Structure 1
Amino acid sequence: MKKILLSFFCISLFFSSYAQESPYKTSAWKDGAIITGAVGLNVLGFTFIQNKEALTEAEVAALNKNDIAGINRWAAGNYSEKADAISYIPFYAALGMPLVFLPSEAERKNFGQISVLFVETMAVTGVFYTMTAGLIDKSRPLVYNENLPFGERAEGGAQRSFIAGHTAVATAGTFFAAKVFNDFHPDSKAIPYVWGGATGISVLMGYLRTKAGKHFLTDNIAGFVVGAASGILIPELHKKGNERLDLYPTATYNLNGTGINTKGLALSYKF
């Protein structure tokens, strides 16, 4: 995923100077800072994910489906290698969404700018995913499947059900594409179908990840919300005429001035 996003970012640097007739306004310094800050937070989040501890034998034995909320309980024990494999098709397709704009002249002329917005969208989506998956301990549905080997149920990677990363990425990619199409072609009769297709792909991803035993329903709902928000808001924040809305990287410093305590992204609105 990181290699794909890096490729789009490099391509965008080459094409960005040719942007014209675009509904968006971008800034190399500002957007570069946002992407850099988001990538830094992603690295931190992945560190949390990699350091997740496995469950003990006693902890696995103590798991009980009846302790799960009713909205999620029906998925406990799900497991499907086939569904897991199929889910990577829309996942990688979402990462290549900017390519769908190449046939259109208006978008092609602004491909570099669109790529910058796409990288920013995925980077912000990644922050929400890596931080929640890394800091929140929640067993995947497959952990409740007693037919699976103990090691597969107990491993640290099986304890990051929230949020659904695949669903967040698929939704961010498809909703980003729908939003960009909407903004470049506001009078197109195809707009309802484009948004419908984006929603359909996102729902399909959620279904596949639940069937695979990777995430519960609420995990997928959270992933959908994060992906949809990123896919819509990042382009919207860059629309010409929306200067009152602003997204920027932030950092806080400790009182004795020895270094940075926290860093992240902030959204502001000027009245």
Structure 2
Amino acid sequence: MKSIFAAVLIACVVSINVTSQNSDNNSNSVYRVNKYVEIPAIGGLFVASFYGFRYLSDKGGLTQNELSSLNTKDIWWFDRWAAEQDAAKRNDFHHTSDMLLNGALALPVILGLDKGIRNDWLDILVMYVELHGINNTVYVSGASSFYRKRPFVYSDDVPLDERMAKETENSFFSGHASTSAAAAFFAATVYSDYHPELGNKKYWLYGAALVPPACGVL
């Protein structure tokens, strides 16, 4: 399963590089997108992601014996604080993280306010969807390869059935952080590419980079 994800990802990334270099040079668009190749690539990425998420949802949870042996002192010091947060607030943290994620996903929509970008909306949309297809595939590959426990399983205050539930070892790496990072950096990069006159001011756009770590922390 993991080798399939990797093969699809590599094939799609190679096709992106080749077609972006060899597409119509007479286009006035900032980007050159060969939709006849990119759209099938998107299909392949999302098919791989679909089966990948199904695989992740079937990963077994922790046993009661495994839970009883957990100790936050076994976690590296720079990560330990996550397992020592107030477990009673985990749903509030998750809700806030969801809101930040949804906000980041909507950032590229704001690009439509720019006339130049709006004229190339189809190319931008294809790139944006393809970006998330790649991100999903990378996330699935990581989460299926590493068994990293979610912080709340270390808390005795959390009901046992929740700590033993499936998908409690899919914590590497954060899907919220990677998805919000993809969306935020995409929006900043596209806008700066269409407005080279911004010069060094374009780096202010990357203030959007504050969203992904906030999602990951929460």
Q: Give the conservation status (yes or no) of the 8 Å contact 1:22–1:110.
A: yes
Query: Cα RMSD (Å) of the superposition?
Result: 1.5
> After alignment, is 170-179 or 134-143 more displaced?
134-143
- Alignment equivalent of 2:131, drawn from 106, 121, 137: 121
Please list the CA deviations of residues 238-267 of structure 1 after superposition, one character each: whole Å capped at 9, or x if unmatched: xxxxxxxxxxxxxxxxxxxxxxxxxxxxxx
Distance 1:203 1:67 in 2: 24
Structure 2 CA distance for partners of 1:136 and 1:48, relative to 1, 3 Å: farther
- 1:63 and 2:73 correspond: no
Matches within 5 A, 1:95-134: 95-134=105-144
Distance 2:122 2:111 in 1: 11
Higher share in strand: 1
What fraction of aligned residue pairs are identical, expressed as a percent?
28
Distance 2:217 2:145 in 1: 24
- Alignment equivalent of 1:137, drawn from 140, 147, 150: 147
Give the corresponding residue for 2:189: 179
Matches within 5 A, 1:88-99: 88-99=98-109
Give the corresponding residue for 2:45: 38
Give, as a single letter, the amino acid of the residue that structure 2 aligns with 1:111. W
Matches within 5 A, 1:1-271: 21-78=28-85, 79=87, 80-188=90-198, 190-196=201-207, 198-208=208-218
| Count of matched residue positions in the alignment of Structure 1 and Structure 2 | 188
Distance 1:74 1:108 in 2: 44
Gaps of 5+ in 1: 1-19, 209-271
Higher share in helix: 2
Q: Give the conservation status (yes or no) of the 8 Å contact 1:167–1:205.
A: yes
Gaps of 5+ in 2: 1-26
Runs of 4+ in 1 over 3 A off after TM superposition: none
Please list the CA deviations of residues 111-160 of structure 1 after superposition, one character each: whole Å capped at 9, or x if unmatched: 11101000011110001112222332211111101111011111112221
Q: CA deviation at 1:161?
A: 0.7
Distance 1:68 1:90 in 2: 27
Distance 1:121 1:32 in 2: 12
TM-score with structure 1 length normalisation? Answer: 0.66
